[in-house]
């Protein structure tokens, strides 16, 4: 017993020392995980190769994914551009390569991204839907729009005109690209009004792709409008919308629709047991306030005590809160294994 207690005591001391060492490294001890040396070396390199052009505006450590830091520069003659350099001053390299060449490539990429970003911001601003944010790859744009059942067709067409101006679906030589569709995210104006603005010294590219901004946008339900590309051109009048909801919203919807469908089912099947499988719900075409999907159920509890996975299904249309609207369509004996349900 005494030996076990001593080992436990030594183990706690070793754990405490390791924790203290890790904390020291995280705050910059030994110059391994701190960003100060990386920032200094990056700034010195920028001053030598691009005097008066690049100014450090942010630094973040790459630990634990990698050693070193990502240093972000503003560009003096382009307020939209951000130059990002991954540098490890301790190793004397930039992702294992020469830092001078890495910086040159980063500058070229940053300027090219700024050109692409301006195409986005100018296209959407010109048609009345200014870009709130873009994903880091510049492939998706967020705008403020609140379509309703009576305005969804108009809003999709207006947003589609912006998408068409931004992404014509043709390459530099005029030929059609391999892109078959382009999307834009529509977020409630109320959500847009509360978004973090980002630091005023940041270039436009940094502000519109900021992780905190994108996280804030994804915390509430939003629509994604997708437009087909035909013959190299975006078709603005053929947009379709889907709704994306965070887990808490999705669960609340699923719990409500299952509870209310179960209550109605038991009028006909008194012992009916609804499956806990929430399933996939899609917006009814031409609406943003009607979702269609299936609720699975069994005629009653299983004799062996196993959970109901669903012997039958009910085709349901529900409002955004999960309350069924309209009638039910019961589909019996859907079988086991992969679901084979008729199209909604």
Tell whether the model's pLDDT for residue 9 goes beyond 60: no
pLDDT band at 306 (very low <50, low <70, confident <90, very high): confident
- Tokens coding 189: 């104006």
pLDDT at 174: 59
Identify the residue whose tokens are 């409002």. Answer: 319
**Pair type for strands 54-61 and 222-230:** unpaired
Tell whether the model's pLDDT for residue 16 goes beyond 50: no
pLDDT at 175: 61
SS3 label, residue 19: helix
Lowest mean pLDDT among 11-15, 167-171, 220-224: 11-15
Phi, psi of 84 (to 5 degrees): -115, 125
pLDDT at 200: 86
- Sequence-ordered alpha helix ranges (H) in the chain: 2-26, 36-49, 99-126, 152-166, 189-192, 204-208, 211-218, 247-265
DSSP state string for 204-269? HHHHHT-HHHHHHHHTS-EEEEEEEEETTEE-GGG-EEEEE--HHHHHHHHHHHHHHHHHHHTTTS
Q: Within 10 Å of residue 229's Cβ, how many Cβ atoms?
A: 21
Q: Within 10 Å of residue 97's Cβ, how many Cβ atoms?
A: 11
pLDDT at 29: 40
Picking from 118, 144, 140, the residue whose alpha carbon sits closest to that of residue 130 is 144
- Tokens coding 242: 């889907």
Q: Considering the chain, what is the average pLDDT of its residues? A: 87
Phi, psi of 293 (to 5 degrees): -170, -170
Q: What is the pLDDT of residues 232-259, one digit of tens each?
A: 889 999 999 999 999 999 999 999 999 9
pLDDT band at 176 (very low <50, low <70, confident <90, very high): low
pLDDT at 27: 43
pLDDT at 343: 67
SS3 label, residue 114: helix
pLDDT band at 1 (very low <50, low <70, confident <90, very high): very low
pLDDT at 24: 40
């Amino acid at each position: 017993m005494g030996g076990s207690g001593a080992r436990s005591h030594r183990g706690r001391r070793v754990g405490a020392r390791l924790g203290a060492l890790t904390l020291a490294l995280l705050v910059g001890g030994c110059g391994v995980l701190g960003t100060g040396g990386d920032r200094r070396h990056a700034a010195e390199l920028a001053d030598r190769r691009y005097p008066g052009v690049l100014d450090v505006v942010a630094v973040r450590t790459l630990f634990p994914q990698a050693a070193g830091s990502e240093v972000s520069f503003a560009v003096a003659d382009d307020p939209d551009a951000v130059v990002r350099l991954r540098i490890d001053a301790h190793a004397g390299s930039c992702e294992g390569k020469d830092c001078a060449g890495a910086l040159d490539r980063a500058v070229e990429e940053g300027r090219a991204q700024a050109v692409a970003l301006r195409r986005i911001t100018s296209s959407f601003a010109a048609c009345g839907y200014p870009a709130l944010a873009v994903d880091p790859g510049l492939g998706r744009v967020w705008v403020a729009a609140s379509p309703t059942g009576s305005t969804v067709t108009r809003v999709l067409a207006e947003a589609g005109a912006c998408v068409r101006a931004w992404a014509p679906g043709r390459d530099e030589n005029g030929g059609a690209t391999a892109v078959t569709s382009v999307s834009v995210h529509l977020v409630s104006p109320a959500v847009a009004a509360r978004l973090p603005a980002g630091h005023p010294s940041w270039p436009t590219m940094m502000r519109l792709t900021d992780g905190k901004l994108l996280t804030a946008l994804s915390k509430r339900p939003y629509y994604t409008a997708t437009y087909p590309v035909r013959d190299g051109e975006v078709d603005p009048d053929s947009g379709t919308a889907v709704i994306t909801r965070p887990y808490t919203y999705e669960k609340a919807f699923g719990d409500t629709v299952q509870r209310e469908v179960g209550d109605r089912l038991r009028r006909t099947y008194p012992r009916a047991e609804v499956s806990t499988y929430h399933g996939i719900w899609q917006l009814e075409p031409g609406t943003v306030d009607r979702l269609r999907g299936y609720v699975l159920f069994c005629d009653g509890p299983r004799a062996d005590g196993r959970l109901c996975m669903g012997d039958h299904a009910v085709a349901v249309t529900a409002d955004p809160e999960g309350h069924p609207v309209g009638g039910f369509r019961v589909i019996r004996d859907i079988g086991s294994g992969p679901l084979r349900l008729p199209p909604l």
